[in-house]
Amino acid sequence: MNPFRYKNGVLHADGVSLADLATEIGTPFYCYSESAISAQYRAYVDAFADQDAVVCYAMKANDNLAILRTFAELGAGADVVSGGELQRALAAGIPPSKIIFSGVGKTEDELALALSTGIMQINVESFAEMEALSRAAVAKGVTAEIAIRINPNVDAKTHDKISTGRKQDKFGIDIELAADAYRKAAELPGLDAAAVAVHIGSQLTSLDPFRAAFSRVAELVGELRAAGHDIRRVDLGGGLGIDYDGAAPPTPAAYAAVIKETVGHLGCRVLLEPGRNLVGNAGILVSRVIYTKDGDDRDFVIVDAAMNDLIRPALYDAYHGIRPVAEPAGGANLQRVDVVGPVCETGDTFTRARDLPPLSAGDLLIFDSAGAYCAVMASTYNARPHVPEILVKEGQFSIVRARQTIEDMLRAENFADWQTAVN
């Protein structure tokens, strides 16, 4: 479902006029549709209705508290990658029994926090971490249920910076060492190796790499069981892509079919960690044109959002659809423009040579597919405050993160003790 549609010539978000919202809140701002998130979550629930599967939302995609609350109310679990994320998930009411803790560099404090909150599973990514977790569990007198994250050496055929399942990537334990890793886990006190985990990358648009990785997982589970390990769960990570540019990725149903085909016979509970696929197309960034500048070589549209608000084009050469909030007249001539932000970096370019309907100063536009890996990656570079986040649902809206103020930014800092005050 695309909740961002034109109505009476104005783009609306689930029934709320974005022009009205912009007047009330100012620009830029993120806007998320709760209905779209629920619909996508339900698509997973339906797709996996005949499998014992738990959806643990990979909250690094979008960790706004109201988004997490949406998932908690839907009954989802969470995949967290830091102590901070764990605390946010708990604050949003996601039950510890549905929380997975992933990541290559969990600190002792983070492991202790995970153990004291009693989460479902800690995904261990190295022998050193396994030892640290064993020590922490013994110190607390508890047993930690773990998965060992395996690096299956499968190329996810996605952007280099978001590939995680190749030998040269920092994630997981090489599949060749998996037998040793499980043997070691069985020897160490305080650990119960209940699961095998993989996560091969993000924004995958083909099912083939999933099929290859999950088949390796299934084979490994067979070997581990033969060696006496009690493997009850497989954690298959996330990574299913979304439509950014008109090329539709596989549906949750097609993804579920691959999972059934590859690991269905194991009798394991299946843990899923989708992030982007659940929220990516449920959000947009709304911005206003400050100036247009027609150059000799190219024409620029300068907007009030920038790379500090939405870094994906600069970081991954990512494509985001751009649409004006005022519906363009049918047959309007397109103009070839670069859309750029005000930050003093050439990288602060959202798109080059894109054919867009005519845009002038004061016009509102949106960046589509901005629900995942956008607001969470924002910074205050160039002393630009964090922008607000709005949640909409069937004609209602709520400000779920207020616009940061310059005062907020200044309050967090101080002069050094030996410096003089400014009067």
Ligand X SMILES: *Cc1c(COP(=O)(O)O)cnc(C)c1O
Give the footprint of ligand X on this chain (CB under 6 A): 58, 60-61, 79, 81, 102, 199, 202, 237-239, 273-277
* CB of 11 or CB of 282, closer to ligand X: 282
| Closest-CA residue to 387 (of 20, 31, 13, 30) | 30
CB of 379 to ligand X, least distance (A): 19
Per-residue tokens: 277: 């696929």
Least gap, CB of 206 to ligand X (angstroms):
14
Our CB check for ligand X shows the closer of 149 and 323 to be: 149
Q: How far is the CB of 366 from ligand X (least distance, A)?
A: 21
Q: How far is the CB of 174 from ligand X (least distance, A)?
A: 17
- Give me the catalytic one of 31, 56, 268, 344: 344
Asked if 280 and 32 count as a contact pair (C-beta separation under 8 A), the reply is no
Q: Least distance in Å: CB of 364 to ligand X? A: 28
By beta-carbon proximity to ligand X, the closer residue of 190 and 252 is: 252
Asked if residue 374 lies in contact with residue 300, where contact means CB atoms within 8 angstroms, the answer is no
Closer Cβ to ligand X, 255 or 397, answer by number? 255
Euclidean distance between CA atoms 117 and 154, whole angstroms: 34
d(CA 180, CA 73): 40
In whole angstroms, how close is the CB of 348 to ligand X at the nearest point? 24
Shortest reach from residue 199's CB to ligand X, in Å: 4
Nearer to ligand X, 58 or 111 (CB): 58
Residue 344 a catalytic site member: yes
Q: Of 218, 221, 236, nearest to 58 (Cα)? A: 236
Nearer to ligand X, 58 or 234 (CB): 58
Query: Cβ closer to ligand X: 153 or 277?
Result: 277
Judged by beta carbon, residue 14 or residue 79, the one nearer ligand X is 79
Q: How far is CA 262 from CA 174, 216, 312, 380, 382, in A?
A: 20, 9, 33, 44, 49
Instruction: Look up tokens 């809206």; give the residue.
Output: 397
Distance CA 377, CA 316 (A): 12
Q: How far is the CB of 319 from ligand X (least distance, A)?
A: 16
Structure token digits, residue 356: 């867009």
Active site residues: 344
